[in-house]
Amino acid sequence: MKNSFIILLFLLFFIHSFSQVPGISVIQFDALEKIMTSKSDSVYVLNFWATWCKPCVEELPAFEQVTKDYKGKNVKVILICMDFKSKLKERVIPFVKKNGLLSEVLLLNEPDYNSWIDKVDKKWSGSIPATLIIKGDLGIRNFFEQSFEFPQLKSEIDKVINQ
């Protein structure tokens, strides 16, 4: 009986551990701001998106292709999910699993958009999709309030890399 209980506990722990999608963290804006103000020589590609945003979902393959093509290089794609935190388990995690996203996914838990949108870019109206490409050591911050297809996204990243 005791052994059965231990095995049951182990199985529950094992199932719970593997039911989570690695790389999805819930963050506040201050954590994102640290990435945006980093003086790293890496190129950060921050894409603001949501599961309910059709243009956002349509452009995700372009960002996934960047993650694959620039693997091992100083380019890091971070998908900043704008869904409500309450939707993490019922919507975001299943979406990430279903679509097999390889890029890091962070859920930004800051519902008062007016408190932080200007800190991303003063020209940002708040609509998504939006992308910020940063190379902190050179002070490069290129902001795009638009959808991307892979060739255009690659071109913008390569411009930053080649500076």
What average pLDDT does the segment 105-125 reach? 95
Strand order in the sheet with 43-49: 24-27, 104-108, 75-81, 43-49, 130-135, 140-144
**What is the model's pLDDT at position 108?**
98
What fold is seen in the domain 22-161? Answer: Glutaredoxin (3.40.30)
Residue 12: pLDDT band (50, 70, 90) is very low
Domain coordinates in residue numbering, the chain: 22-161
Place of tokens 């097999």: 100
How much is the average pLDDT of 103-107?
Answer: 97
Report the mean per-residue pLDDT for the chain: 89
pLDDT over 70 percentage in the chain = 86
pLDDT at 1: 52
Q: What is the pTM of this model?
A: 0.85
Determine contact, residues 63/47, Cβ cutoff 8 Å.
Answer: yes
pLDDT digits (tens, 9 = 90+) for 54-78: 999 999 999 999 999 999 999 999 9
Whether the predicted pLDDT of 16 surpasses 70: no
Query: In angstroms, rounded to a whole number, what is the distance separating the alpha carbons of residues 98 and 94?
Result: 6
Average pLDDT over residues 129-157: 98
Which of the pair, 3 or 29, is modelled with greater confidence? Answer: 29
Q: For residue 140, what pLDDT band results from cuts at 50, 70 and 90?
A: very high
> Average of pLDDT values for 3-31?
58
Token duo for residue 17: 């551990």
Pairwise pLDDT comparison (119 vs 1), residue with the higher score: 119
CA distance 47 to 105: 10
Query: What's CA 117's distance to the chain center, in Å?
Result: 16
pLDDT score recorded for residue 8: 39
Q: Average the pLDDT over 126-130 and give the result.
A: 98
Integer Cα distance of 83 and 131 in angstroms: 16
Q: How much is the average pLDDT of 29-44?
A: 96
Return the structure tokens found at 86: 């309450």
